Amino acid sequence: MKKIFKKLLFKILNSPEINGSSVFSGFSRGIKNVVFEGNNAVPHGCNFSGKVTIGFASTLGYNNFIHGDVTIGKYCQVGVDVGIFAKNHPTNYMSTYINKNLFNGELKSIRQENKIIIGNDVWIGHNVIIVGNVTVGNGAVLAAGSVITKDVLPYSIVGGVPAKIIKKRFTDSIIQEIEELQWWNYSESELEKIKPLFFKDFENKISIYE
């Protein structure tokens, strides 16, 4: 009986709920704090607080924690167990403790309030942590397990603790062409017209139009 109940509960929690064009599965907290631009996917165990915007077609992973003033661009994919924290504890004061158990929570007024901006077409790997006042450029790749504490250049691959640049995905000329194209702002019909570009291998190329 217990096993049947567990299976039933699991099925209920993981049954997708479609809200507009976005899909929500399982149970997540703080959804009301998020502006979804459409075609998003939010799986079980996500937690949001603050002011969060998630761009068109961007999808999250299980157990994502997104807190503070955070903007995620369009067509991003976020892996499992990712933490994005624009808020942080104060380090230049007597204590880092901001819980209500000390001075009835008045120390929350000195909490660090930063802003995190994640560009378009960004891939964030499993167990990545992003903290502080950080901008992640378009097309960047954040390797699994990385801790991001500084800005990430567009179309770069970063990894490590703290994260450092590993390499650029493309030549500077190709990066410039993609940035100028801004395909993530295209409609579906417009994307169909440039579809062949998405199937090209840009390794050792200097232009996306070669």
Q: How many angstroms separate the CA atoms of 82 and 15, rounded?
A: 22
Catalytic residue among 44, 67, 89, 126: 89
Residue 149, burial from CB neighbour count under 10 angstroms (0-12, 13-18, 19+): middle
Buried b (16+ CB within 10 A) or exposed e, 39-71: bbbbbebbebbbebbbbbbbbbbbbbbbbbbbb
The whole-angstrom separation of Cα 128 and Cα 36 is: 22
User: Is 126 one of the annotated active-site residues of the chain?
Assistant: no
CA gap 26, 24 in Å, rounded: 7
Catalytic residues: 89
